[in-house]
Amino acid sequence: MTSARFSPVTSPRDMSTSALELANAGEPLPESLQNEKFDLASLFHILHCMPGPTTSKAKAIAKSLLTSHGVLVGCTLLGKQWEKTDGGYVLKNEKPRGIMAGTVLRLYNKRGIFDNWHDDPNVFTRVLEDEFEHVETRVVSMMFTFRTAKPRRANA
């Protein structure tokens, strides 16, 4: 995936200006993003494609791109079925939901397209809570979704 910068778009409703940046999550930030700050960033269907343990994937979250009140939203496909309890997430079933899902997950993990067999929503949640003041997470079937706000800064 290559980097691209799109022209600002003006919303007729509130006349605010917003910019859209497209970058490769597996490569260093392009120069155009080095000093930029955004109010909103999204990570949809990216983390389960990144190699490595859950902790390193979660730490890859680019909170440095957000303003002090910035929001990060996203989701990632888990390799197993989890459910939320009062004490966090518990493994509901080792197997993916359905024959087709299991077949695709096995194939994609074997080929290195996905690396999500051992992704743990508790680890994602813990890292997000360390990195942001406000965190909301949930699992819908095998999809871990999150919404965070207000990145914690090292000098704060």
Distance CA 26, CA 151 (A): 22
Q: Which distant-in-sequence residues (6+ apart) come within 8 Å of 87 by Cβ?
A: none
Where residue 144 falls among pLDDT bands split at 50, 70, 90?
Answer: very high
pLDDT at 56 over 90: no
Q: Per-residue pLDDT for 8 more than 80?
A: no
In Å, what is the CA distance from 47 to each residue of 14, 38, 81, 130, 142? 33, 20, 17, 18, 14
Among 98, 116, 99, CA closest to 108:
116
Binned at pLDDT 50, 70 and 90, residue 15 comes out as: very low
**pLDDT of 55 higher than 60:** yes
Which letter does DSSP use for residue 82 in this model? E
pLDDT value at position 96?
83
Is beta strand 66-77 parallel, antiparallel or unpaired with respect to 38-44? Answer: parallel
pLDDT at residue 85 is higher than 80: yes
Average pLDDT, the chain: 83
Strands 88-93 and 81-85: antiparallel
Q: Which range is least confidently modeled, 23-27, 44-48, 103-107?
A: 23-27
- Residue pair 48/78 in contact (Cβ under 8 Å)? The answer is yes
* pLDDT reported for residue 155: 63
pTM recorded for the entire structure:
0.79
